[in-house]
Amino acid sequence: MSEPNVEKEPGPQGEESPVTDAAPNAKRKREYKEFGHEEGKPTCANVDMSLIELKAEDLYDKEKVDLETIVIDDVFKLLQCDENGLSLEEASRRIELFGPNKLEQEEQNAFLQFLSFMWNPLSWVMEGAALVAIVLSNGEGQPPDWEDFLGIVLLLFINSTIGFYEERNAGNAVKALMDSLAPKAKVKRNGTWAEIESAGLVPGDMVAFKIGDIVPADCRLTEAINVSIDQAALTGESLPQGKKLGDQCFSGSTCKQGEAEGVVISTGANTFFGRAASLVGQDDDTTGHLQKILAQIGSFCLVSIGIFVVAEILVLYAGFRYNYRRGLNNILVLLIGGIPIAMPTVLSVTLAVGAQQLAKHKAIVTRITAIEELAGVTILCSDKTGTLTTNKLTIDRATIRTYGPFSADDVMLLAAYASRTENQDAIDTSVVAALGDTSRARAGIKLLDFKPFNPVDKRTEITYLEESSGKLKRVTKGMTGIIIELCTRNKTEEVENKLEADVEEFATRGLRALAVAYEELDGEDPEAEGNGFELIGLLAIFDPPREDTKQTIDDAIALGVKVKMVTGDQLAIAKETGRRLGLGDHMYPAKVLKDGPPPGGKHLNLDDMILDADGFAGVFPEHKYEIVKRLQGLGHLCAMTGDGANDAPALSRANVGIAVEGATDAARGAADIVLTEPGLSTIVHAIRGSRIIFQRMRNYSIYACAVTIRIVVCFAILAFAFKFDFPPFMVLIIALLNDGTIMTLSVDRVLPSMTPDAWDLAEIFTYAIAYGLYLTASTIALVAIIMKTSFFYDKFGVTFNGFVFPSSANDPQLHMIVYLQVAIISQALIFVTRSHGFFFMERPSVALMIAFCIAQLVSSIIAAYCNWGFTQIRAISGGWIGIVWVWNIVWFLPLDWIKFAMKATIIKRMRERHDRKVAEAAVRASEGGIPITRTQSRAASIHESMYSNRVSFIRRAARKVGFGRKIMMKPEELQRFSSIQAQRTGATLARNPSRTAA
């Protein structure tokens, strides 16, 4: 079996063994694709080039233009330029014509951003209350309620100012990081080469790039010296492709070898990467997950207020026959005190501060509400090349095979001899780097002759003088079939069988084989024949995982996040990478996404297979998009990492798209989080950070809803039971002091959960109702004891201006007592809602403690010294202040026990019911599948959009670009596409001819 295989393997026309070499040859074909171009005959455009007027329907008409082989001269004519480059004047004209060479960014109007904080249903109620105070309060001989009006407007402006300040700070931090990523380009203008920002490039510019440079725009090569381009961001494959004169290179790809010059044919959103982003626009969300939650919490508060406002209207006007102004003041108390006006601001500030904290870990948050969604992510779909791996070929020293008297180290050293040390290709770079000390590649030898890799021989060869022995020796390395064909000295059946088995093993593991052979020369003529090559070793080449990737994946799994690999590379390579990272090798080729699971397998349907798989290989953009979409349809919040334009659609579809360091502009534009450091370790920081932020928001949400219940129920019952008319202005003071304290929740010290977070609004509302009713009871009990008994006078000797009882239910000093009691215990509630155990077991942040103490000091000072006749309050004695403090402490301590009782009873039953529903849904899914629906985080409704996110630091990639079709990523389509670009640009220039044209 082995003999025929060895004989047939090297020749390009040979028949390959179906068992052993199909996979190895496939690897070698990919590995050396850069040298395998088939020469095509250049053609010219079959039209009058002086007119340069091609209609859109003509672009694919090969009778006029063979788009795959159009000559570079026609490109120059179409673009009205030459190899000397454009003039500065013409470049400026074309910038106006074609726009900058970058994806557009949206600049948000600062004033409108400020006003947007007042544009949501909660703010509308407060704005309505302000109008009530200034317009409807007229009458009965009384002036408008200017104090309440100004107080409400001041509260609105304070909230907007704080939110605006924090969001602008976060936006500026992001902008600074993004500006630092601006790429440069070498361009010829007025016949002189200069370096400019690549955003300044226009079609027709002459650009140059060399090894290590990023191709700044789509271009056709006018000069190419041993050029190799890494298009991994486009195809997902590890190995670079060779390019020659006339070939196209695409924006965002990287030059791995050689140097080149080219003419720019397309820029900005019209580049291949920009057009690949056409899928991205399909899922730009108008309403995020947090906005949906905000809408529901807001609805809860509005409904609660509405119920008691209607009740007051009926009872106070119809029952008690209140006059117009008196009833209106009571309604204002409910409107002002019940609305959690600070909620959008507090949550925005919390997210903005969180974004700044993540920026310290080199993570740019481009969609601020993605922080909240990241806390709930259950599945992380990750691209492989450049994300999980380094995207740098490496020799796997642990798998080196030897076939003669040479050790693995000897084989490595001799292979390094047969490699270039300068102007290296990817293979030579990996072989020399494997030595550790690259100087060893030429140490102790004198180079006599070197034959670099070429598409005919498919191998490198060095002839050298070994200085220690004075002998001439020769080493060659290259494709396995080519090298074994050269060997004559140890080409035995045993060696061939071993080689065949080793190559097959490498292929099944996704490792590419590189054979090494050696011979000695007699005499001193380096051109002479040697004593015959001897196969000495086989090297395994692979794209290694990043150093921190395995730990990152382990950390993600520990946080309850399942990681799946989704890559465009081959299945064997994906499986080997999965094994090395501990992901598992339970992976499938992309075709199963179309064909479904095989009949008789363990998976009943495609959804079941996707959920169970460790990853998928050989995927294209539409596959990645479909995987994310189906996972979301199964109820998962999905994060997607990637670095290339081929990842952009899935990045946009995912709940949280993460562009890793070095990502293309298309990927950054589609992503919600952009990493500026290599590796995925930042994602673990981001997940933990997002869960901390989520806990802060959840704590505040319970608090805000509880205070709403507490205010509306408390003051409505006081009005019904005692005809108690609390002054609206004092509710404003309570709200103002509350806001100042609650803002510090954005930096509060909380513990992240070890499982994905989710908004359970039923749980939040249940806690809120329990806390709110309990605090309501604390106030009503205090007022009842004061009104109906002489308890406090008997025990502490306190009076109301010398009287044992207040003059009426609306005694100004009673108003002050109620104000102080409500202000203190309402703020103290935050220490209960922010903790999972006893409130004193979880230390709050210093900022929160300081803000709380200041607010309570201010409240106590107001109670002791303020005699504000306009709002019907009068200062109370120190005795009353002390009584209120003690009263609140007594009522505060049982709050923790209420929390524990709720957890053990109502909340426990609610969670059990929720778990049963999830289990039933899983059973239904396994039986018949779940229809694919858009996940909650991308849902949109008119009401929810009122809370829509105001922060958009990067505009989603251009919407209306290209031909309105999905971009095909097949390599054979690339040249045709580049010719179309050149003609479209030429047509634009024809419609806008140069002023200096003859």
Q: How far apart are the C-alpha atoms of 351 and 369, rounded to whole Å?
A: 7
Q: Which residues contact 613 (CB under 8 A, 6 or more apart)?
A: 564, 586, 587, 588
Q: Quick check: is 502 catalytic?
A: no
Q: Partners of 192 in the beta sheet?
A: 189
DSSP 787-851: HH--HHHHHH---BTTBSS-SSTT-HHHHHHHHHHHHHHHHHHHHHHT-SS-GGGSPPPHHHHHH
CB 433 within 8 A of CB 412: no
List the catalytic residue out of 213, 218, 247, 383. 383
Q: How far apart are the C-alpha atoms of 100 and 81, rounded to whole Å?
A: 19
Where are the alpha helices (H) located in 893-973, listed in sequence order? 895-904, 906-928, 942-945
Strands (E), 298-370: 363-365
Quote the tokens at residue 455: 């598409």
Instruction: Tally Cβ neighbours within 10 Å of residue 55.
Output: 9
Compute, in degrees rounded to 10, the torsion defined by CA atoms 973, 979, 983, 984: 40
The three-class DSSP label of residue 233 is helix
Stated length of the chain: 998
Q: CA 979, 980, 983, 989 torsion: positive or negative? A: negative
Q: What is the separation, in whole angstroms, between the first and last Cα of the chain?
A: 71
DSSP 146-162: HHHHHHHHHHHHHHHHH
Ramachandran quadrant class, 802 (left: phi over 0; alpha: psi -120 to 50; beta: rest): left
Among 412, 557, 402, 429, which residue's Cα sits nearest to residue 475?
412
Check residue 205 and report its DSSP letter.
-
CB 863 within 8 A of CB 876: yes
Among 374, 389, 381, 958, which residue's Cα sits nearest to residue 666?
958
Check residue 968 and report its DSSP letter.
P
Check residue 142 and report its DSSP letter.
B
Quote the tokens at residue 139: 């009458």
Which residues are annotated as catalytic?
383
